[in-house]
């Protein structure tokens, strides 16, 4: 057995407390063997965490990682015109190679900001999976399907691809890859397609992930046409189970919150995207109070514009207070919980907590910085003061992905160069 010991750090425990301890990892199994002040010293490899906080790897529960190539391409526009005028026409020009390069860029960014696990909706999924395999992260991936504006044959082809991709890649890459069927949303995919793909996915124990109630444009047409709220419609379609998870949930009413809580369906809060596209303020504290599983996600880099979960935590806390008109709402410990265990629960992947026997998905945050001094309350610092660039080491599945800020699994400068060239060629084509 190969072991790795993270030494001399302070460790964030699942109950939110912090203690001086070493962490011993089984590098072969990718699990945590021990967390204690007196861990045996003869590990095969050590990682210095002196002056650092050792925390669970962050879990980005809703992303479109390859959209890093569209970062800054179209800003300051509302959701539908942004999608229709800028994003979709540009995405139509993306080659599988572009998607691979964009994914690698996003994965380098995630590793460098302590994210070990994510959920991703996109297309050319085999190329996203290849990038994840190389980078060493854990993910739930899926092909985002859209049927509006397509004839029946093209619509079914897209839906069938989402199902085929989910079946093919579930459990791939030593189990680090899981999948979901990912119809884009309740308004961009027609009822018959949603009903059938959901039944097929669930028959194979594959969850369904989709955008829901992101803007009023995703609510009003459903209410007008069906005289029921979107999540009641989703429940009717069978898409609201404990395995399924939705992105956004901005415009949800009390009855929908009760439906989510009763069903155990996870909601992925994406505050930066919601603010940038002026989509609205999700009632996060209300959802937490109702017992809804709430995770945190960056959404794509075109609507954020980064994949830094520390940034996202700060946004979640700030926006949550505004939405509740209460400075005590969406407090720092709840936000850290959302970005770790909440996200992991929502997307149904292991991780999100440092526990003996649990997966060794870990971020080591360097506290020795002016903006983190004095180190009064480390949980509060993670949310309000720390930045992704404070992460010193990142591990996933017991493997060191970044040591002392150097990414070990991907060649950072080569990835950045390739992404620059691919983006420039893409904009020339569009
Ligand atoms: Zn999204």
pLDDT of residue 307: 98
pLDDT of residue 148: 95
How far apart are the CA of 6 and the centre of ligand 1, in A? 35
The secondary structure of 309-341 as a DSSP string is: HHHHHHHHHHHHHHHHT-TTSS-HHHHHHIIII
3-state secondary structure at position 105? helix
193 confidence band (pLDDT: 50, 70, 90): very high
For the stretch 201-216, pLDDT in tens is: 999 999 999 999 999 9
How far is the C-alpha of 183 from the C-alpha of 159, rounded, in Å? 7
Q: How far is CA 226 from the centre of its chain?
A: 31
How far apart are the CA of 270 and the centre of ligand 1, in A? 8
For the stretch 317-360, pLDDT in tens is: 999 999 999 999 999 999 999 999 999 999 999 999 999 999 99
3-state secondary structure at position 124? coil
For the stretch 136-169, pLDDT in tens is: 999 999 999 999 999 999 999 999 999 999 999 9
Rounded mean pLDDT, 97-105? 98
Q: What is the percent of the chain with per-residue pLDDT over 90, rounded to a whole number?
A: 96
pLDDT of residue 333: 98
Nearest to 359 by CA among 115, 30, 14: 30
How far apart are the CA of 426 and the centre of ligand 1, in A? 21
- In this structure, is the dihedral angle defined by the CA atoms of residues 4, 8, 12 and 14, taken in order, positive or negative? positive
Nearest to 6 by CA among 428, 412, 398: 398
Task: Look at residue 27 and tell me whether its pLDDT is greater than 90.
Answer: yes
How far apart are the CA of 71 and the centre of ligand 1, in A? 14
Mean model confidence pLDDT for the chain? 97
Name, in order, each residue with C-beta under 8 angstroms of 355's C-beta and a sequence gap of 6 or more: 14, 32, 35
How far is the C-alpha of 385 from the C-alpha of 150, rounded, in Å? 47
Q: What share of the chain is helix, strand, coil (3-state, %, to 5)?
A: 45, 25, 35
How far apart are the CA of 218 and the centre of ligand 1, in A? 13
| Measured distance between the N- and C-terminal CA atoms of the chain, rounded to whole angstroms | 52
How far apart are the CA of 203 and the centre of ligand 1, in A? 25
Lowest mean pLDDT among 10-19, 34-43, 54-63, 118-127: 34-43
pLDDT of residue 140: 98
pLDDT of residue 76: 94
pLDDT of residue 42: 84
How far apart are the CA of 159 and the centre of ligand 1, in A? 18
How far apart are the CA of 425 and the centre of ligand 1, in A? 24
Give, for 4, the enclosing helix (H) or strand (E): strand 3-12
Residue pair 396/372 in contact (Cβ under 8 Å)? The answer is no
And the tokens for 272? 């930066």
Q: Structure pTM?
A: 0.98
3-state secondary structure at position 196? helix
How far apart are the CA of 62 and the centre of ligand 1, in A? 6
How far is the C-alpha of 208 from the C-alpha of 351, rounded, in Å? 20
The length of the chain, given as a count of residues: 430
The two counts, helices (H) then strands (E), for the chain are: 16, 18
pLDDT of residue 39: 84
pLDDT of residue 38: 79
Name, in order, each residue with C-beta under 8 angstroms of 154's C-beta and a sequence gap of 6 or more: none
How far apart are the CA of 272 and the centre of ligand 1, in A? 11
Task: Look at residue 41 and tell me whether its pLDDT is greater than 80.
Answer: no
78 confidence band (pLDDT: 50, 70, 90): confident
Rounded mean pLDDT, 4-24? 97
Peptide bond into 305 cis (omega under 30): yes
CB atoms within 10 A of CB 75: 12
For the stretch 393-419, pLDDT in tens is: 999 999 999 999 999 999 999 999 999
How far apart are the CA of 109 and the centre of ligand 1, in A? 18
How far apart are the CA of 1 and the centre of ligand 1, in A? 40
How far is the C-alpha of 175 from the C-alpha of 397, rounded, in Å? 10
Task: Look at residue 60 and tell me whether its pLDDT is greater than 80.
Answer: yes
How far apart are the CA of 120 and the centre of ligand 1, in A? 9
How far apart are the CA of 247 and the centre of ligand 1, in A? 7
How far apart are the CA of 63 and the centre of ligand 1, in A? 6
Q: What is the percent of the chain with per-residue pLDDT over 70, rounded to a whole number?
A: 100
Rounded mean pLDDT, 47-66? 98
40 confidence band (pLDDT: 50, 70, 90): confident
How far apart are the CA of 64 and the centre of ligand 1, in A? 6
The residues whose Cβ lies within 5 A of ligand 1, an ion, are 299
How far apart are the CA of 106 and the centre of ligand 1, in A? 15
Helix locations, 237-364, DSSP H? 254-263, 271-276, 284-290, 309-324, 332-337, 343-347
């Amino acid at each position: 057995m190969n072991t790795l010991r993270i030494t001399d750090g302070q460790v964030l425990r699942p109950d939110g407390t912090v203690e001086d301890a070493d962490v011993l990892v089984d590098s072969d199994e990718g699990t945590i063997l021990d967390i204690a002040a007196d861990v045996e010293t003869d590990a095969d490899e050590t990682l210095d965490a002196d002056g650092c906080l050792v925390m669970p790897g962050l879990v980005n529960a809703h992303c479109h990682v390859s959209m890093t190539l569209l970062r800054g391409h179209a800003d300051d526009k509302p959701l539908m015109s942004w999608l229709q005028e800028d994003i979709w026409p540009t995405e139509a020009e993306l080659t599988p190679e572009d998607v691979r390069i964009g994914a690698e860029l996003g994965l380098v960014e995630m590793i460098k900001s302590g994210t070990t696990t994510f959920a991703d909706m996109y297309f050319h999924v085999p190329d996203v999976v290849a990038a994840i395999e190389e980078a060493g992260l854990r993910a739930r991936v899926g092909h985002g399907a859209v049927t509006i504006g397509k004839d029946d044959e093209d619509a079914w082809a897209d839906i069938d691809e989402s199902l085929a991709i989910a079946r093919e890649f579930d459990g791939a890459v030593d189990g680090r890859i899981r999948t979901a069927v990912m119809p884009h949303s309740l308004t961009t995919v027609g009822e018959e397609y949603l009903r059938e793909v959901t039944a097929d996915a669930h028959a194979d124990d594959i969850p369904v992930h989709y955008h829901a109630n992101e803007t009023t444009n995703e609510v009003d047409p459903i209410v007008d046409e069906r005289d029921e709220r979107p999540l009641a419609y989703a429940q009717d379609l069978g898409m609201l189970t404990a395995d399924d998870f939705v992105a956004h949930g901005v415009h949800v009413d009390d009855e929908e919150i009760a439906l989510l809580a009763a069903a155990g369906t996870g909601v992925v809060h994406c505050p930066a995207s919601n603010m940038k596209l002026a989509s609205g303020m999700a009632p996060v504290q209300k959802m937490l109070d109702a017992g809804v599983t709430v995770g945190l996600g960056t959404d794509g880099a075109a609507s954020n514009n980064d994949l830094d979960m520390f940034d996202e935590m700060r946004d979640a806390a700030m926006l949550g207070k505004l939405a509740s008109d209460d400075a005590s709402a969406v407090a720092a410990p709840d936000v850290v919980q959302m970005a770790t265990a909440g996200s992991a629960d929502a997307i149904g992947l292991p991780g999100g907590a440092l526990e003996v026997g649990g997966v060794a998905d870990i971020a080591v945050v360097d506290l020795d910085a002016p903006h983190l001094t004095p180190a009064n309350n480390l949980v509060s610092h993670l949310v309000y003061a720390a930045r992704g660039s404070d992460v010193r080491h990142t591990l996933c599945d017991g493997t060191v992905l970044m040591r002392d800020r150097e990414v070990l699994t991907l060649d950072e400068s080569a990835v950045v160069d390739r992404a620059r060239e691919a983006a420039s060629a893409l904009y020339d084509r569009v």
